[in-house]
A = this chain, B = another copy of it.
Amino acid sequence: MLTEVNIMLTERQLLLLQVIIDDFIDTAHPVGSRVLAKKGTIPFSAATIRNEMADLEELGFLEKMHSSSGRIPSEKGYRYYVDHLIKPVSHNMHHGIVSKLVQEGIYEFEQIVQMSAEILSELTSYTAIILGPEIFETQLKQLQIVPLSTETAVAILITNTGHVEHRMISLPEAINASDLEKLVNIINQKLVGIPIVKLQNIFYTEMADIMKRYLDDYEKSLSYLKAIFLTDYPVKVYVSGTSNMLMQPEFNDIDKVRSFYTLMDREEELIKLLKDSTPGIEVTIGNENEVEAIKDFSLITSSLRHEEEQVGTIALLGPKRMEYRKVISLLKGLSNEMTNTLYMWYKDKE
């Protein structure tokens, strides 16, 4: 596949494509043959460049906005650029974002992800979108139920990754206090280490017997547990740096701004956008994305994993004319750092 494409492009065309895309990413202006020739990066005349450009357009790598404008990269062009033209930057020159945060005493992983994303969006002027962990895949570490009044209590659920979910529950018919305690004890004895997603099955099978035996009011207890375990713990989405994007020249169009922010307000859409990301860095350009609203954006996602569990996703959303080189290397560096940090923290968790 790769070679197939390479056969079709001469060295000069490759160079040209590279220079054109670099220039357009930089300036957001369609690039014309004259200017390109004057810059001296390409040792040929404007006329020659024009010919090559026409060829590259025919091959689908470049486009014109109108018949007498300069060329801009097509999506196919960007794709080729990302796949073959970006030299893999050594990303051991990472910025130490995470270690800096850890030094500041921040040990909450989700918080680190959030703050990194903020820094990232600041650094790139694009919008960072962060997805919290899929809690259902993590394991129960401990359950606590703390009564607040005779009618309310707060249930706290701690996972092996240090993630904490809490939820208020109502106790309309006052439950026996010792029963509540017993209940919590049973759960912590029997269910620690079980993935959250499997908990509800276990209630109806293995746990039923035990609970019946030890608790005065099995039915009632079960209903409280339902409130805790069977509700959705929705994935959390954080968005940061949307206003940076407004500085991009493509956002002079007010309608684009509107549709952009309408998307940003729709959490479900964002979740859909990031949810099924594969491990590693993934670049999606324009229409490659199935979500209609970002068909003229590019999205770069980095899915953070720890021992096969997805513990978060960081994505950068920007115009198709994105600084892919910079963003990819930044994200790669950050990913590495985070993976290492996670490994250090939880290496002995079991």
Contact = CB atoms under 8 A, between A and B. Distances in A.
Interface string A216-255: 0000000000010001000000001111001100011010
Contacts of A148: 141, 160, 162, 345-346, 349
A218 B107 CA distance: 23
Interface string A138-159: 0001101010111110101010
Contacts of A166: 108, 164, 166
A252 B349 CA distance: 54
A169 interface: yes
A99 to B, nearest CB: 13
A206 interface: no
A167 B108 contact: yes
Contacts of A169: 107
Interface string A322-350: 00000000000000000000000111110
A158 B156 contact: yes
Given A156-B156, A252-B254, A254-B257, 10 more contacts: A105-B231, A107-B168, A142-B146, A144-B144, A148-B349, A149-B346, A150-B348, A156-B164, A241-B265, A243-B265
For the residues of A in contact with B, the DSSP-based class is mixed
A262 interface: yes
Interface residues of A, number: 47
Contacts of A348: 149-151
Contacts of A242: 261, 264-265
A198 interface: no
A152 B107 contact: yes
Interface in A162-196: 162, 164, 166-170
A61 interface: no
A297 to B, nearest CB: 16
Contacts of A141: 146, 148
Contacts of A151: 345, 348
A81 interface: no
A255 to B, nearest CB: 10
Contacts of A227: 105
A78 interface: no
Contact of A246 (B168, B258, B347): B258
A126 interface: no
Nearest to A105: B227
